[in-house]
A and B are shown apart, each in its own frame.
Chain A
Amino acid sequence: MFEDKSYYLDLFKVTEQQLRSLARKGMEAGGSYCDLFFENTACHDLLLRDGIVSSGGFHVDYGVGIRVLDGDRTGYAYSESTDMKAMTEAVMAASKIALGASERPAASGAMHTAPPRMGLRPENHYPYVNDWRLAEASRFVPALEKLQQSISSKDSRVLKVIVSLSDQVSDIMMFNSDEELVCDTRPLGALAVSVVFSHEGKTENKTVSRSYRTGYEMITDELLEEIANEAVAGIDERFEARRPKGGQMPVVMGAGASGILLHEAMGHAFEADFNRKGQSVFSGKIGQKVCDESISIVDDGTISRNRGAVNFDDEGIPGQKTFMVRDGILTSYLHDRISAAHYGVVPTGNGRRESFRYAPIPRMRATYMLGGKSRKEDIIASVKKGIFVDQFSNGQVQIGEGDFTFFVKSGFLIEEGRLTMPVKDINIIGNGPKALSDIIAVGNDPKIDEGAWTCGKGQSCPVSCGIPTVLINNLTVGGE
């Protein structure tokens, strides 16, 4: 659909001539660049609680965000109407950023233009057959019920199950003062369960989710079974699990969801806005060795159906695969147009935003580490005393200091090279650059997690993460 520009122009009730006129007006006060981001998003949700799907709804969000740049400076305004009067008012508000521009010295990095036609017709990274918008709620009710029944039948300790299905489809049209017109339609579905277990007076909970940029063909019997199996897996260990003795120790991060390590410890600090402002612990370190040469870290918007995939980012730059660290060397930050112009490099397609209400900023997509040579079993066997972790709920980072944390839902103690006592509900803390340099083994089992990860950086963005099994020599583990 993203090649049919008339669909989008009609949807947003504008002509190309009007777009040109608005972009010109945005530059009148002296701005160096102007772009318009049109969005029409339709979201649906369904919720099963206490065995019935008795709650649901849909939500419509429509509008246009208008940005005027004056060098590194950003003026931003939006309108929930796309009539010319409302859009012109928003343009005027955004263009205030450039007032007095003629009296200032020329701003650094005034060119926000991407290299000539850097592929405005990229691959479609989220092919879909069945449009969520055309499906009625009744189509999905049986699937939610089946998933709940499947989970309940697999373990007698299941006390409560909540199943939620949410989907959204966004029609996006972008136009800029270089007269580039880019259109995209982005599907996103997420199926999640929250299960409460009760056993001998104790209660435990577990959540599992899957999310894909595709149509409703993602809802298959195989997916339901996969989620149900994961929901009840490891519950024996959860009831047995204890807090370990806290302190510094080696940590083996299991393949897949442990990619949260890369997201928090490295990814955010590689986002170029933090570096442009001198705030990141990785500021000024491009070209330097930051970890062992066996390590390469990628941020990728091109994985088909992946939650972090982008045909175009939210500045109209084609989705791409960016090596942040290649063979241990910091090779690239993650750039939007502003930071790319600031550093004099090509934008990396990381200019993303939650909606038309937000100006784009550098954001991750799918962040993962390439596989190494070690076997998982050998990595675990190499640890005399430490912990193995593989399920997480959330993480956070302090950009300046580089201190990151992630919360471990479950894992095991490692004693004399063997997994022993189950552990749960512990936070792990470390320092990004130090943790990177402390990775001493990389597994040959790279895996990208397919859960519904959302990154918050003042605004939400769907992302994903992945990693092979890795051993970090020294992190601080919470405990008693």
Chain B
Amino acid sequence: MEENDMEMINGMLSGKEIDLASKCIETARRLGADRVRVTLSKSLMELFGTLNGELDKVNHCLDRSMSVSLFVDGRFGTFSTNRLEEEGLGSFLEKSISTVRMLAPDPCRALPSPDRKAAGAVSGTELDLMDPDYAAVSSDQRLKMAMDASIFNGNKDGRLISEEGEYSDSIYDSLVIDSEGLFCRHCETSFEYGVEMTIIDGGGNRYSGYWWDSAPRLRNLGIASCGATALERALNQIGPQKIGSGKYTMVVDNENSSRLVAPLLSALSGYSIQQKNSFLTDTLGNRVFPEWLDILDRPHQKGRSGSRLFDSEGVATKEHSIIEKGVVKEYFINTYMSNKMGMAPTVEDATRPVIPASISPGLANPGSLDQEGILRLAGDGILVTGFNGGNSNSATGNFSFGVDGFRFKDGKILHPVREMLITGNLLTLWNNLLAAGDDPRSCKSRQIPTLAFKDVDFSA
């Protein structure tokens, strides 16, 4: 086996490119930097897109970039380039260091201490996120997978007017090193298929449905059922009915539930807390969520999308609780924010958040905790299967989102509803949580299952 083949199995970065990152640190130190961190990444993505069963586009995307964080005379700056020729590196770093020297000193800027750095991410393959068969996938196979996934030409339902599908795969390799001996590497492959179906009903109304799957290994990609699922999601929307505004029990499906977790995680960020721009300021160690709710970070799950051994500073991730029995257990405090706020540092963000299955005490277990079971548990309400815009106020937690989905009664879906808004406060919403299912989608890095909330304000 030749060296190049070996490198393809372990990732994409060549020995020469890794040497260049090391030289970057040496050169920056020689030019006056006190400490240096270099992040080098390289990726290749191949895409075959179809429109109505015919090949519509082919993309080939090869990227490299190098980001350099410089600590110079108590000052700090971040610089990046995709021009990785060795001869241009000196002048790039010279200009970078000169720029840093024009900024104000900031004693809080520092590299993470050695005991926090990831030690077990050497080859980049430790998390088993690389498909060993990636290099063997040919263009012809990619094209065939994209074409075979299309159901447009075999479909007999005249309401289908457009099918747009994309098969893609990628390989990604990144390296973080610093002037104090850090060496962390992460490699992964990803295979993905997504398809959007547009249909038209007898009244000329258009509806669209999208479905996708993704996996680190090709053999785990559920490509065959995507088209039928997307078409079903589009057809199910025909005949929406208006409902009255008011308070309803809301069930959010596992494709969309992470939308309600994202603002919580953002509010736990050290940057938001330090700027007093978080509705979770001064809640660390306090119970502000239901005492039966846990949110975990599970970044070390081998072969699972989203797993990662280190953050962008090279700090080791760990399996831990973010929210435990309703208590805020962690703010995400990177080295800079730690020094600014005088708080112990952590990883800079949630890596692979997970909400385990659970039910509000006093509610009867519906037997299963998939979407069907959660609907039974919820009884009457609205199932949300799509978000359409909206936002939340990071300082207050007040939110308002556009949603669409289905009215359900006695656990059974009645009819589609659309053009609705949900409005409230995130803390109130989460304290009205009724249940979390056991059905997070494996293709997502945020493992958030179907969720049910009571007393949600719907405007319709």
User: Chain A: residues with CB nearer than 8 A to chain B?
Assistant: 46, 49-50, 52-63, 72-80, 90, 93-94, 96-97, 136-138, 141, 159-160, 162, 194, 196, 198, 202-205, 243, 246-247, 264, 277-281, 283, 357, 359, 393-407, 424-431, 476-480
Can you show 23 pairs from A to B with CB atoms below 8 A apart? A52-B104, A54-B76, A55-B78, A60-B92, A62-B82, A73-B55, A78-B62, A80-B82, A203-B277, A205-B393, A205-B395, A247-B245, A247-B460, A277-B198, A279-B198, A359-B57, A400-B208, A401-B237, A404-B388, A405-B389, A425-B396, A427-B390, A427-B423
CB distance from A338 to the nearest CB of B (A): 10
Report chain B residues within 8 Å CB of A162. 275
Please state if B62 and A79 are interface contacts (CB–CB under 8 Å): yes
Shortest CB–CB separation between residue B431 and chain A, in angstroms?
A: 16
Nearest Cβ in chain B — how far from A387, in angstroms? 12
Chain A facing B: main interface SS: strand
- Tell whether, in the assembled complex, residue A479 and residue B59 are in contact, meaning their CB atoms are under 8 Å apart: no
Contact among A61, A97, A136, A480 with B424 in the assembled complex (CB-CB below 8 Å):
A480
Query: When chains A and B are docked, how far (Å) is the Cα of A430 from the Cα of B178?
Result: 51
Q: A246-B423, A278-B161 are in contact. Are A73 and B105 (CB under 8 A)?
A: no
Contact A277/B63 with A396-B388, A407-B400, A480-B457 known, Cβ cut-off 8 Å: no
The distance from the CB of A279 to the nearest CB of chain B, in whole angstroms, is: 5
B321 within 8 A of A: no
User: Quick one: closest B residue to A77, CB to CB?
Assistant: B60
The dominant DSSP class at the B interface is strand
Given contacts A77-B59, A203-B276, contact A404 B459 (CB under 8 A): no
Knowing A246-B459, A247-B245, say if A476 contacts B391 (CB, 8 Å): no
Q: Are A136 and B106 in contact (CB under 8 A)?
A: no
**Chain B interface size range:** 35 or more
Q: Are the CB atoms of B82 and A425 closer together than 8 Å?
A: no
Instruction: Report Cα–Cα, A393/B281, bound state, in Å.
Output: 23
| B106 / chain A contacts, CB cutoff of 8 Å | 52, 54-55
Asked whether A196 and B104 contact (CB < 8 A) given A203-B395, A401-B206, A403-B404, the answer is: no
Q: Out of B58, B162, B205, B396, name the residue touching A204 (CB < 8 Å).
A: B396
Contacts of A402 in B (CB 8 A): 206
Query: Which residues does chain A contribute within 8 Å of B424, judged by CB atoms?
Result: 480
Query: When the two chains form their complex, are residues B395 and A204 in contact, meaning their CB atoms are under 8 A apart?
Result: yes
B276 touches A198 (CB 8 A): yes
Q: Tell whether A137 pairs with B277 under 8 Å between CB atoms, given A57-B80, A75-B58, A429-B402.
A: no
Is there an interface contact between A427 and B77, defined as CB atoms closer than 8 Å? no
Enumerate chain A residues within 8 angstroms of B250, measured Cβ to Cβ. none
Pairwise interchain contact B402-A427, C-beta atoms closer than 8 A? yes
Closest chain A residue to B390 by CB distance? A427
Assess whether A160 is in contact with B275, with CB atoms less than 8 Å apart: yes
Select B402's contact among A76, A203, A247, A403, beta carbons within 8 Å.
A403
Our pick among B59, B104, B391, B459 for the contact of A393 (Cβ within 8 Å) is B391
Chain A minimum-CB-distance residue to B106: A54
> CB of B445 within 8 A of chain A?
no
Contact with A along B138-175 (1 / 0, CB 8 A): 01000000000000000000000110100000000000
B61 is an interface residue with CB less than 8 A from chain A = yes
Tell me if B410 counts as interface (CB < 8 A to partner A).
Answer: no
Q: Known contacts A73-B55, A75-B57, A396-B388: does B139 contact A58 (CB below 8 Å)?
A: no
Chain A: minimal CB distance from B107 (Å): 10
Q: Give min CB distance, A125 to chain B, whole Å.
A: 28
Restricting to B196-218, which residues have a CB under 8 Å from any CB of A? Answer: 196, 198, 205-208
Q: A73–B207 Cα gap in the complex (Å)? A: 25
Within the complex, the shortest CB–CB distance from A232 to chain B, in Å, comes to: 16
Taking CB atoms, residues of chain A closer than 8 Å to B196 are 279
Chain A neighbourhood of B98, CB < 8 A = 136
Given contacts A54-B104, A403-B404, contact A77 B61 (CB under 8 A): yes
Contact A398 B391 (CB under 8 A): no
* B388: A residues at CB distance < 8 A: 396-398, 403-405, 429
Q: Are B161 and A401 in contact (CB under 8 A)?
A: no
- In angstroms, Cα B383 to Cα A121, docked, is 55
- Beta-carbon contact of B400 and A478 below 8 Å: yes
Residues of A near B99 (CB, < 8 A) are 56-58, 136-137
